[in-house]
């Protein structure tokens, strides 16, 4: 497993070792011992999967404490641009983001820690997106930032007119209009 820190050190790219031959391939998508040693000690409690078509943008979602969530995300089939935005007030990287192309082909994973908003847009005809979370879903603690917030200036690698949003994501607000994390809060 290859671990790469991004421009925001808490957001980490994980590339598994893939064993392939004429029959196909095999790789270990998660190993708790290795993950805790090389990334962070956390207990994932739930796996989720979503299938979406080209242009579907899910995000930028987060949950506030005590229901904040870390995510370990990957794509099983297709290709997405995955984005993590630092929403920890007073953090040196507040309002900065990391974007990584995840695909069924490259098998990369992205660890998105608590204190970050997360979203992705589908760049292929379809994509199957899978992720682990380390805390329960709480609708009352959920927040969302609009994908085209000009203060974030995220390059989604897709024309904005091609973006397909849920009704809930259409009414998301800019980062300066939502409740955020206190950088000094203990998130783990």
pTM here?
Answer: 0.94
Q: CA distances (Å), 29 to each of 6, 9, 34, in order? A: 20, 21, 11
Structural domains of the chain in order of their starting residue, each with its CATH number: 43-182 (2.60.120.10)
* Residue 1 pLDDT class (50, 70, 90 cuts): confident
* Residue 179 pLDDT class (50, 70, 90 cuts): confident
Whether 131 is catalytic is yes
Give the active site residue among 54, 62, 131, 183: 131
The residue to which tokens 């630092």 are assigned: 86
Give the active site residue among 25, 54, 61, 62: 61
pLDDT tens string 24-61: 999 999 999 999 999 999 999 999 999 999 999 999 99
Element (H, E) at 36: helix 32-38
Whether 54 is catalytic is no
pLDDT tens string 167-176: 999 999 999 9
**Does the structure show a pLDDT above 90 at 68?**
yes
């Amino acid at each position: 497993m290859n671990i790469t820190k991004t421009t925001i050190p808490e957001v980490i790219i994980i590339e598994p070792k893939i064993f392939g031959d004429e029959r196909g391939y095999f790789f270990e998508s998660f190993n708790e011992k290795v993950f805790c040693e090389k990334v962070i000690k956390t207990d994932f409690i739930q796996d989720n999967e979503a299938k979406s078509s080209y242009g579907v943008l899910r995000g930028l979602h987060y949950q506030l404490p005590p229901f904040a969530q870390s995510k370990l995300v990957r794509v099983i089939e297709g290709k997405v641009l995955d984005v993590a935005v630092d929403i920890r007030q007073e953090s040196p990287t507040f309002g900065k983001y990391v974007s990584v192309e995840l695909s069924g082909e490259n098998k990369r994973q992205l660890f998105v820690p608590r204190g970050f908003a997360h979203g992705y847009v589908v760049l292929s005809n379809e994509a199957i997106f899978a992720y682990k979370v380390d805390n329960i879903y709480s609708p009352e603690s959920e927040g969302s930032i609009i994908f085209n917030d000009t203060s974030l200036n995220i390059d989604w690698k897709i024309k904005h007119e091609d973006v397909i949003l849920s009704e809930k994501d259409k009414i998301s607000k800019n980062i300066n209009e939502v409740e955020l994390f206190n950088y000094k809060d203990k998130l783990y």
